[in-house]
Structure 1
């Protein structure tokens, strides 16, 4: 199973994308901006294809078990084996201040320059997570991030 993150617009703070699973649009994404030189927790994930697995440790995992009981949250979706990056999660949030270098999800995107955001993040997470959790558990989930914004 494959998640595709098609980055289509960015500014000096944020990047907005379409997120699809197996060629079906699921939600929008928001990340930090592109940087040629990484700044910790302020740089988007480099373009490429990576493995996604479940992470069952950390504060997000504990919070999401409680927050997402209705979808039986089993672990955070973690993007692995990204050169120079660690602790990359797919999680809820609305603006670049929520990302910390991770990928946020939302049902709609606001693309006003210097004021980009995604909305209804919990709803988008409830839509995405059940589609991919099985593949993440059995090791068959990947994510491809494409730069079509520059």
Structure 2
């Protein structure tokens, strides 16, 4: 299963993207501001991660669905993200709800996503089903 996150609005205080799964649009994604401005997947040439307020670097990452120690429920987890640990896809409405995780929802308000709980559950169920069938799951952030 292939997820693709296409970032479409890089703002000073947040980032909005479109999430598709196997080529089909699913929902919007809210993230902190992008610091990997040259889109090469690393922080270089003066780019710096701001702890708790930086989007993950561009790139492709494997995903597993497992129990989050913080949230105590099954959530999709991105693996081997450079400079980041514990990057999840989880509910939330504003960048205050994330340190680097991907917040799914509907971008019907400036700098926010709505109906995030619905989208978290739907994505988690879909990815868990694929994982249980033995399908590899990855996300490309572009």
TM bin (shorter chain):
0.7 to 0.9
For 2:79 and 2:55, locate their aligned partners in 1 and report how far apart those are by CA, in whole Å: 14
- Look up the match of 1:48: 59
Name which of structure 1's ranges 19-28 and 122-131 shifts more when overlaid on structure 2. 122-131
Q: Does 1:130 align with 2:125?
A: yes
Unaligned residue ranges in structure 1 (runs of 5+): 65-74
SS in 2 for 1:37: coil
Give the aligned partner of residue 107 of structure 2.
109
Root mean square deviation, CA, Å: 1.5
TM normalised by structure 2 equals 0.84
**Which residue is equivalent to 1:78?**
77
Structure 1 match to 2:138: 142
Residue 111 of structure 1 and its aligned partner are, at CA, apart by: 6.0
Distance verdict in 2 for CA 1:127–1:56, change over 3 Å: closer
Q: Give how far 1:135 is off.
A: 2.9
Aligned pairs, how many? 130
In 1, the alpha carbon distance for the partners of 2:139 and 2:11 equals 23
Structure with more helix by fraction: 1
Q: Secondary structure at the match of 2:90?
A: strand
Q: Which residue of 1 aligns with 2:9?
A: 9
Is there any run of 5+ residues in structure 2 with no aligned partner, and where? 36-46
